[in-house]
Structure 1
Amino acid sequence: MRVTPIADGEPFEPVGHTGVGPVRLQGGARTPTENFTVTLSHYLPGAEAGLATQESETVYVVTAGELVFASEGNEVTLGPMDSVHYTPGTTRTVKNQSRLPASMLVVRIKA
């Protein structure tokens, strides 16, 4: 069993993200996890993850607030406990268009 208290999460700055504060909970340089990563991302009002291509299979689970996900001509607003799955090669954007902060878990399976 590997426990990561939120206070011990690994903050990082992903390319193409503005106003986003992610913390890696599992996976990454500080853990022995090899096949996946789990990140908690906080989006301030107006924050966004710019257009990017998914390098690996990814699931996003909104835990608080609302986030707008857009991909290949489709757009959807997700709220608490809603989720979306992307396959490798899919392009997407994520935006917080509300006046309140939003948070989500990101589970990425390494290819």
Structure 2
Amino acid sequence: MLIKRFEDAQSYDAPNHWGVHGLRLQGFEEGGPTNQWVAFSQFLPGGGAGPDSTSFEKVYVVLDGEMTIEWDGRTEVLRAMDSCTIPPGQERRIENKSNHVCKMLVVMPYPPEK
């Protein structure tokens, strides 16, 4: 079992993101999860990501605030405790269009080894 304290979480920069501060809560450490990692992202008003896609599935869980997600000509707003699964290859764009910080968990598999 691995317990990590929030104050020990390491920050990271995600590609094609803006106005966001990401923290790695679990993953990439000895004794941590073996098939996925978990991030905590805080998106400032106007912050977002994309448009892009990944070769793997992701899960977004909005903890507080709201996040607008756009894909395939559709738009939805995720609010506190809403979640979505993004399948591999799905192009999407997300943006915090509110005036409040959006706090979100992101769960994704480790990147493929090269």
Q: TM-score, normalised by structure 2?
A: 0.90
* Alignment partners' CA distance in 1, 2:89 and 2:10: 26
* Alignment partners' CA distance in 1, 2:76 and 2:69: 5
- Please report the RMSD computed on the Cα atoms of aligned residues, expressed in angstroms: 1.3
Aligned residue identity for 2:49: A
- Tell me the residue number matched to 2:18: 18
Unpaired stretches in structure 2, ≥5 consecutive residues: none
Q: TM-score, normalised by structure 1?
A: 0.92
Q: CA deviation at 1:34?
A: 2.9
- Tell me the residue number matched to 2:56: 56
Q: CA deviation at 1:105?
A: 0.3
CA contact (8 A) 1:54 1:86 kept: no
Aligned residue identity for 1:50: G
What secondary structure does 2:46 align onto? strand
CA contact (8 A) 1:69 1:95 kept: yes
State percent identity of aligned pairs.
35
* Alignment partners' CA distance in 2, 1:72 and 1:109: 24
Structure 1 stretches of at least 4 aligned residues deviating more than 4 Å after TM superposition: none
* Alignment partners' CA distance in 2, 1:103 and 1:57: 20
Unpaired stretches in structure 1, ≥5 consecutive residues: none
